[in-house]
């Protein structure tokens, strides 16, 4: 069975603030689905997204002008 993560769990996995997770999913930068009043994320999709970016790239929080 696929593991489903909350925004807080994704934030921990990506080592970013939970607010950044919401911004990234709304921008379409990370895959997520709104379900039951909150966002849910597939752990395998998040891992695939991270690994497909290569070793030199990582999910970057929005820059100061995007806040």
Q: Which residue has the tokens 């997770």?
A: 21
Structure confidence at residue 57 (pLDDT): 47
Sign of CA dihedral 14, 60, 41, 8: positive
Q: What is the pLDDT of residues 8-38, one digit of tens each?
A: 999 999 999 999 999 999 999 999 999 888 9
- Say yes or no to pLDDT of 44 above 80: yes
Question: Which residues form the domain of 46?
Answer: 4-55
Report if pTM > 0.75. no
Domains: count for the chain: 1
Q: Indicate whether 67 belongs to any domain.
A: no
E-strand stretches of 1-67: 4-6, 33-35, 38-42
Q: Indicate whether 38 belongs to any domain.
A: yes
- Give start and end residues of each alpha helix (H) in 15-60: 18-27, 43-52
């Amino acid at each position: 069975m696929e593991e489903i993560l909350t925004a807080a769990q994704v934030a921990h996995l990506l080592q970013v603030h939970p607010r950044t997770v919401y911004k990234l999913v709304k921008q379409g930068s990370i895959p997520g689905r709104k379900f039951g009043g909150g966002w849910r994320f597939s752990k395998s999709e998040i891992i695939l997204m991270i690994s497909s970016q290569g070793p030199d790239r990582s999910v970057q929080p929005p820059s100061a002008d995007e806040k």
